[in-house]
Structure 1
Amino acid sequence: MTTLSDHYFGDLEAFDEATLYPDFFKRTFIIPKSLGVSTLRNNRKFIIIGRKGTGKTAIQMHLASIARDEGYMTHHFRFFYDLRSDDYKEISQTQSKISYTGTINDKSLFLNYDFRDVWERAFFRRIAETMRDRGIENAFTDLVAPRASRFSNIFAGLSRSLGIKITASMGPILAECNIDPSEFSDKEGMPLKTFNRIARELFIKTSKGSKIYFFVDELVFSKLDAKEDEITLRAAMVRDVLRTSWEINGFFAVNKVDIHFICSLRPEVKQLISDFDTESGKFLDGKDVELSWMAGDGDEAKLILEVLQSKVRFSLPEKEVEFEDFFAKTIKFGNRTDTIEEFLTKNTWGRPRDVVRLLNAIAKKNPNANKIGEEEIKASIHEYSRSSSKELFDELGVKHGGAVLDALRKGIRKQVYRDSNQLWEDISPYLVSTNIKGLIEELFYLGVIGGYDPDKKRHYWVYRGNTYLHPSRKIRIHPALWSEFQVQ
C-alpha cells in the first residue's frame, strides 16, 4: 500500500516542476479565466503582474510549452538567479558619472542609473545563443555570441566604460557593416550603443524569420537578501530590464518579427519602481495583465479546490488517485465544521502555491499515512503556517527590513484587533521610526491582516477583491498565520 511519501504533489517553484516533472505540470496546470493570456505579445501587453505564489512562472512555463509546440524557440532569463552578488558592484562601476558608495536609496541616484544598453546586449546575446543551440549560425550569431565564447555573465566582454572589446573574429563582420574596427581603441572598445545598433541591423538582415518567446522572470529583490547599498541598484536594474524588454518588443513589432519578450513582476516591486521614477508609467501602465485567483466568493474561489484536486489526482505516476476516497471531506475546529473548500478559502491566500505548500506540509508531517484525513491536516498546520509566514515576510522585506518582521512576531498577540490603532500599540514598541499608515496598508495588501465584521461574520481580504481596509472594521490576523504568531 502506498503512503504519502510515495506521492508527488508538486514544487513550490513552478520552474522546477515544469522542468523536472513536465507531464505532472501539464496535467495539473490550471489557469484563471480572468487572465488574458492571448494579449501577451510584443505589440500588446508584456508584463504578468501577480503576488508571489500566484503562478506567474507557471504561466510563463505554460506559454513556453505551447510556443514550442507551435515551432517557436524559447528562452528563460531568471534575473534573481542569473546574477551573482558581486555582479551588482561590477555593473555599478560602469556608471562612471555616479558615486556608488554612500548613496543608499536616493531617488536622484535611481534616476541617473541607466543600464538599458547593458541589458539590450545581454538579451540579444541570449537570443543568439538560443538560435545557435538550434543549429542556426549566421553573421548575427557570430558577432553577438561567438562560438568560442559562452556567456559567463551579463558583463562578459565589457570594458568599464561600457565598450565592447573588439576581437579578430569580429573584424570581417564589422567590415560588412561598413564599420572600421581601427576606429576604436583597444582599451575602451566599441561603444555599447554602436554595438547594439549593429546587432539590430544584422538581426533584421539575417534572422528576421526567427520565432522566439523570451521569458524574463524573478524580477525580485529584498532588503532581507541584500546589503543596504545594493537596493537602489537592484531596483534600477529591474526597471531597466522592463524598459529594455518594452523597447525590444517595440523594435520587433515595428519590423514584423515574431519574437516576444514576456516579463513577470510582483505588484510591490512595480509600485516601488513607480515611486522612484514617475516616468516609468510609459512602459508599465497599461502593459500588464493581472494574475489573481480568488477575486470573490463565486466560481473563482472554486479554482483553488480544483487545483487541490488535480495535484492529488496525478500525485502517483502509475495510477490516478480518487480524490473523494483519498482526501477528507470536512475538518472540524472546536464547534465549527468546514468543508475542504471552506477550509481552503479561510486558510490560503487563493494561490496555487498555497495548495502545494499545504499538501507538502501534510506529506512531510505524515509520511506513513495512506490518506489525508482531518488528523493529518491538523498535524501539518504549524509547518504550513511557518513556511507561509516566511514567504510573506520575504515580500514585506522589499520595503521594510528585518526589524518589522521581528516586531510582528514579538508584538502580535491576538487573532482579532479592535482596529489598526490597537494592532499598532502591540507592535510599535519593537519598531523605530516606521510609518504606521504605510505599514498597516502593506500588511493588508500582503494578506497578513484583513478587515472583519463580526456581526455579519464577513471577512475583507485584498486577494478577495477588497481594495482598502475600512477604518470601521476590526482587524483579523490571517488564520494561516495564527500558529506562527502563537495565537491559535
Structure 2
Amino acid sequence: MESKKQISAISFGKSDGKNEARQPNFESLFYDGSGDYEKLKNDPLKYLIVGRKGTGKTILARYFMKKMQEEKHTYAKFIVAGDFTGEKLKNFNYNVIREEEREIFWRYLILNELTKMLVEHENGLLSRKWIGKLKDIDTNLMFNLEEMVQENVVNSNFGGSVSNHGFSVGGNSSLESKNSKKLKPATYFDQADKMMETLLKVMTRVKNKYFLFFDDLDEIKIGSLQRDSDESNMTLLSDSLYDFVVALAYINDKLLDAGSKSRVISTMRQDIVDQMQRKTKNFNKVLTDNGIKISWFSPMIKETPQNTALGKLVLHKIKVSIDSYHDMNNKALFNTVFTQAKPQKRPFSFIVNRGFGRPRDVIEYLNLIQEKFPTAESINFHMVTQVQSEYCSWFYDELQNEISILGRSEDIFNTLELIKKNGQGIFKYKTLKINLEKGDKEVKVLGLKDDLKALFKLGAIGNYHKEKGSRTATVEYSYREGTDNPDFSKEFIIHPAVQNFLSIK
C-alpha cells in the first residue's frame, strides 16, 4: 500500500448545502447511498424533498438540477426565498389575503416563474402564439392581484395603499374605501386557471423539459406573514407553506395529466412538515406518494461504522479526494483514516454521537479537525477531543436556531437554563420540577413538560433507562428512534454536545 496522505488533502465539503454546490468538484463529491437521487430522477411523482436541517436536502436538489442541465432540451432554474417569495410577499402583503385565496396566490407565483422560463427559451413558430397569450394573462394577473390585495386591505380596516411598487402601510382606510375598485375574487381565480391552461398548451407543443426548484422557503421573512402577534413563527410558516404545497401538488398534477415531463420540486423542513400533518388528515398521502424523506442515522455506527450511510459518505469523499485511496476497500480505508488505540475510544463514533445523525454535523466536525491538524495523516481520538468545545459551540448555535422558530421559544430557552442550573447530565422530571418550584425567580418556566417534549423532539435531551444490576443503559433520542414523545417515567439524559456546551459533567 502507498504511504498515508495528509488529511488536508481531503475535501470533506461544506456544512451548508448551497456552498457545497458551488465547489468545482461538487458532482464528484456527491454521494447517493440511499438512492434518493435515483428516486427523484426516475419517479415523476416525486416533488417534495423532506428532511431535518443539515440532512442534505439542498445538496440533493442542486445535484439533480445540475444533472438535468446536462441533458438536451432541458432547462432548470433554482429559486430561494430571498429572490422569490420574499419580494412577492412584500409586494402583495400575504397577511391580508383571504384564507381561501392564498393557495391561488401561491399557484400564481409558481406559474409566474414557469412562464418566465418559457418566455426565455421558447421561440418556435408553434409556441409563439401561446407565449404571447401567456404574457398577456401574466400581466392581467399581476394587476388583478394588486387590486384584490387593495380590496382586502380596505375590508380589513388596514391603513395602506397599493402602488406599482407594492403595498405600503399608511393612509386612511375610510377614505380609500370610497375610491376602492371592487374586484370579485372569481375574476382572479379565472385568470389563474387561464394561465395554467395556456401554460399546459405550450408545454404539450414543445420538446423542451423544464424543472423549477424551490429551496429555503422556511427563510421567508416572518413579518410578511404576521396575522396575529401571538402566533408562533412555526405556525405562520407551516400555514403559509401548506398553501404552497397544495399549489405545488395542483400544478404538478396538471403537468402529469397533460403528459409533460416538466416538474416543480421543493425542499421542505421536517419540523414544518410535522406541523402540517396536524393541519389536515390527508397530508400524509402527499408525503407518501410525492415525498422523499432523507435520513442518515444507523445503529451500526459502533460495530461497523464504515458500513453506515454517514461512514460511506465520508469514505466516498476521501476516495474522490485522494487517488491512491480510491481502490482501497472501505474497512481498510476507514482504519487508515480513523485510528483507535482502544475499542472504547472510536473517533468516528465519538463524532457522530455529538451530532443529530446528520451529514452537516459530521462535516463540520471533520473540517474543524482538518483545520487544527492539517499535516496529520490520520484522525485519532485525541484530535477529536481537542476540537470538541469549538464544535459543541457551533452545534449549540444550530440548536438555538431550531428552537427560535418554535412557539414558546423563550420558555424553552428558560428550561435549558433550568437544566444548566440543575447541573446533572442525567435527571428526573420530578427533580427538575422541584428545583423549579424552589429555585430563584430569575428562571421563569410556565410549561415545563411541554418544553421538555420540545427539547426531546429536537434531540437536545433523550430518555435514559438502566435496569437494576445491568452494566449498560438504554438511551433513546428522537432522531434515532423516530419517536416524538418522551417517557416521563424514565430519566432524561442531555445530548453530549449540549452537555459539553453547558459545562455539565
TM-score norm. by structure 1 comes to 0.75
Aligned to 1:220: 218
Contact 2:347 2:379 in 1 (8 A): no
Give, in whole Å, the separation in 2 of the partners of 1:410 and 1:471.
17
CA 1:205–1:433 in 2, change beyond 3 Å: closer, same or farther?
same
Determine if contact 1:41/1:262 at 8 Å carries over to the other structure: no
Q: Which region of structure 1 is more displaced relative to structure 2, 252-261 or 67-76? A: 67-76
Instruction: Describe the SS at the equivalent of 1:21.
Output: coil
Answer with 238-247 or 273-282: which moved more.
273-282
Cα deviation, 1:121-175, whole Å, max 9, x if unaligned, reads 22122112233444657345445568x99xxxx9799414159x9x9xxxxxxxx
Q: What letter corresponds to residue 261 of structure 1 in structure 2?
A: V
Aligned partners of 1:441 and 1:469 also within 8 Å: yes
Shift of 1:372: 3.9
In structure 1, how many angstroms separate the alpha carbons of the residues matched to 2:221 and 2:492?
Answer: 27
* Change over 3 Å in CA distance of 1:433–1:416 after alignment to 2: closer
Give the match for residue 356 of structure 2: 349
Aligned equivalent of 1:77: 79
Q: In the alignment, is the contact (CA less than 8 A) between 2:222 and 2:236 conserved in 1? A: no
Relative to its length, the structure with more helix (as a share) is: 2
Is the counterpart of residue 192 in structure 1 residue 188 in structure 2?
yes
1:22 positional shift: 4.6
Alpha-carbon separation, structure 2, partners of 1:433 and 1:297: 38
- Deviation of 1:50 (Å): 1.4
SS of alignment partner, residue 15 of structure 2: coil
Match of 1:33 in 2: 34
How far 1:431 moved relative to its partner? 5.5
**Structure 2 partner of 1:473:** 490
Deviation per CA, 1:151-206: give whole Å up to 9, x if none. xxx9799414159x9x9xxxxxxxxxxxxxxxxx9997994323322222222222
AA aligned opposite 2:243: D
Unaligned ranges ≥5, structure 1: 98-111, 168-184
Q: Which residue of 2 aligns with 1:62?
A: 63
Distance 1:338-1:122 versus aligned 2 partners, 3 A rule: same
From 376, 384, 388, the equivalent of 2:391 is 384
Alignment-mate amino acid for residue 13 of structure 2: G
User: Residue in 2 aligned with 1:421?
Assistant: 430
Please tell me whether residue 438 in structure 1 is matched to residue 475 in structure 2: no
Q: CA deviation at 1:15?
A: 2.4
Amino acid at match of 2:340: T
CA distance 1:288–1:128, shift in 2 (3 Å): same
Q: Contact 2:412/2:455 (CA < 8 Å) preserved in 1?
A: no
Task: Give CA-to-partner distance per residue, 1:254-276, whole Å, 9 cap, x none.
Answer: 21211222222223212323445
The answer as to 2:270 corresponding to 1:267 is: yes
Q: Give me the whole-angstrom Cα distance separating, in 1, the residues matched to 2:411 and 2:488.
A: 26
Q: Are the aligned partners of 1:419 and 1:475 in contact in 2 as well (CA < 8 Å)? A: yes
Instruction: Write out per-residue CA displacement over residues 59-104 of structure 1, whole angstroms, 9 at most, x where no aligned residue.
Output: 2223223333444322223236644389458423652x6xxxxxxx
Change over 3 Å in CA distance of 1:373–1:81 after alignment to 2: farther
CA RMSD of aligned residues (A): 4.3
Tell me whether 47-56 or 364-373 shows the greater mean CA deviation. 364-373
Change (3 A) 1:206 1:186: farther
State the distance in 1 between where 2:36 and 2:474 align: 27
1:244 maps to amino acid: A
Preserved contact between residue 33 and residue 313 of structure 2 (Cα < 8 Å) = no
Q: Which of these two proteins has the greater Rg computed from alpha carbons?
A: 2
TM-score (ref. length: structure 2)? 0.73
Aligned to 2:239: 236
- Residues 40, 451 of structure 1: CA spacing in aligned structure 2 closer, same or farther, 3 A cutoff? farther
Contact 1:348 1:354 in 2 (8 A): yes
Deviations 1:312-356 (A, max 9, x none): 44457x986996687341277xxx832234324422221111111
Give the number of aligned pairs: 443
| Aligned pairs for 1:59-458 within 5 A | 59-71=60-72, 72-79=74-81, 82-84=84-86, 87-88=89-90, 90-92=92-94, 94-95=96-97, 112=99, 114-134=101-121, 136=123, 138-142=128-132, 144=134, 158-162=145-149, 191-208=187-204, 209=206, 210-220=208-218, 229=229, 231=233, 233-276=236-279, 283=286, 287-297=290-300, 302-315=308-321, 327-330=337-340, 337-366=344-373, 372-400=379-407, 401-409=409-417, 411-412=419-420, 413-414=422-423, 416-424=425-433, 432=444, 434-454=446-466, 455=470, 456-458=472-474
Assess if the C-alpha contact under 8 Å between 1:382 and 1:483 holds in 2: yes
Which letter maps to 1:235? S
Give the C-alpha shift of residue 366 in structure 1. 4.5
Partners of 1:436 and 1:89 lie apart in 2 by 40
1:32, 1:7 → 2: CA distance?
A: 19
Contact 1:74 1:212 in 2 (8 A): yes
Measured after TM superposition, the shift of residue 358 of structure 1 is 0.7
3, 20, 23: which one aligns with 1:21: 23
What SS is found at the alignment partner of 1:44? coil
Between the aligned residues of both structures, percent identity stands at 19
* Contact 2:214 2:267 (8 Å CA) reproduced: yes
Tell me how far 1:117 sits from its aligned partner: 2.1
Distance 1:79 1:223 in 2: 9
**CA displacement at 1:44 relative to structure 2:** 3.2
* Partner Cα distance (1:37, 1:425) in 2: 53
Structure 2: state its 5+ residue gaps: 151-161, 165-179
Shift of 1:247: 0.8
SS in 2 for 1:49: strand
2:157 is aligned to none
SS in 1 for 2:77: strand
Larger displacement relative to structure 2 (278-287 or 352-361): 278-287
Displacement of 1:432 in angstroms is 4.4
**What is the DSSP-based 3-state SS (H/G/I as helix, E as strand, rest coil) of the residue aligned with 1:74?**
strand
